[in-house]
């Protein structure tokens, strides 16, 4: 058992990207934030499934070439091998929860030159 506070962790890219509150041993749990105009490289996972729950703002998440417009309160589940790409074309930041399970130390495969 452990307790942590979001304020004790940092986003990967300063004020954006994932902020992991827990990495393993069975799952990852992160707060993810994107500023207007930001995106995250298209990728997929071989073993882990990924979930996003939108806390505030809105974002587009492309899964296997289909654009999904998500807003506060929306939830999306992404299966292993589904290519996904997140981008924020909106005027305000988006903040969301991300979970990845089952935990794998390395399970992200980036997709170069992704188009949809």
Write down the pTM of the prediction: 0.95
Give per-residue pLDDT as tens, 73-92.
999 999 999 999 999 999 99
d(CA 29, CA 95): 14
Q: Which of 6-14's residues contact partners 24+ apart within 8 Å by CB, and which partners?
A: 6/31
**How far apart are the C-alpha atoms of 19 and 30, rounded to whole Å?**
5
Query: How is the beta sheet containing 108-110 ordered, strand by strand?
Result: 66-71, 58-63, 84-87, 39-45, 108-110
What does residue 91 show for φ and ψ, rounded to 5 degrees?
Answer: -90, -5
Query: Rounded distance, CA 103 to CA 77, Å?
Result: 16
The residues pairing with 97 across neighbouring beta strands, listed in sequence order, are 31, 53
pLDDT digits (tens, 9 = 90+) for 20-77: 999 999 999 999 999 999 999 999 999 999 999 999 999 999 999 999 999 999 999 9
């Amino acid at each position: 058992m452990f307790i942590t506070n979001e304020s004790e962790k940092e986003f990967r890219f300063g004020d954006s990207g994932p902020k992991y509150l827990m990495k393993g041993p069975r799952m990852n749990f992160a707060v993810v934030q994107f500023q207007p105009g930001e995106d995250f490289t298209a990728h997929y996972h071989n073993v882990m499934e990924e979930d996003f729950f939108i806390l505030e703002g809105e974002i587009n998440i492309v899964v296997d070439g289909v654009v999904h417009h998500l807003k506060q309160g929306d939830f999306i589940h992404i299966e292993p091998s589904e290519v996904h790409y997140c981008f924020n074309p909106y005027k305000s930041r988006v903040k969301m929860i991300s979970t990845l399970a089952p935990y794998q130390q390395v399970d992200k495969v980036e997709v170069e030159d992704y188009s949809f």
